[in-house]
A and B are shown apart, each in its own frame.
Chain A
Amino acid sequence: MMVKILYFAALRERLERSEEQLALPPEVATAGALRAHLAARGGAWEALANLRNLRVAVNQRMAGADAPLADGDEVAFFPPVTGG
Chain B
Amino acid sequence: MSVRVQRENFDPGAEMDALCAGRVDVGACASFVGLVRAANDGSGVHTMTLEHYPGMTEAALEEIEAEARQRWNILDVLVIHRYGELRPGERIVLVVVIGAHRGEAFAACEFIMDYLKTRAPFWKKERRADGQHWVDAKQSDDAAAARWRE
Contact = CB atoms under 8 A, between A and B. Distances in A.
Interface of A: 6, 8-10, 53, 57, 60-62, 76, 78-84
Contacts of B121: 8, 57, 76, 78, 81, 83
B97 to A, nearest CB: 15
Contacts, number: 71
B56 interface: yes
Interface-centre pick from A6, A10, A76 (highest chain B CB count, 10 A): A10
A83 B93 contact: yes
A9 B50 CA distance: 9
Given A60-B55, A84-B113, A79 B123 contact: yes
Contact of B120 (A6, A8, A9, A83): A83
A84 B137 contact: no
Sorting the interface of chain B by its residue count into under 10, 10 to 19, 20 to 34 or 35 or more gives 20 to 34
A39 to B, nearest CB: 20
A76 B125 CA distance: 19
A62 B64 CA distance: 13
A57 B56 CA distance: 9
- The 8 A-B pairs with the shortest beta carbon distances in the complex, nearest first, are A83-B122, A80-B137, A9-B123, A60-B56, A84-B117, A10-B134, A82-B135, A82-B124
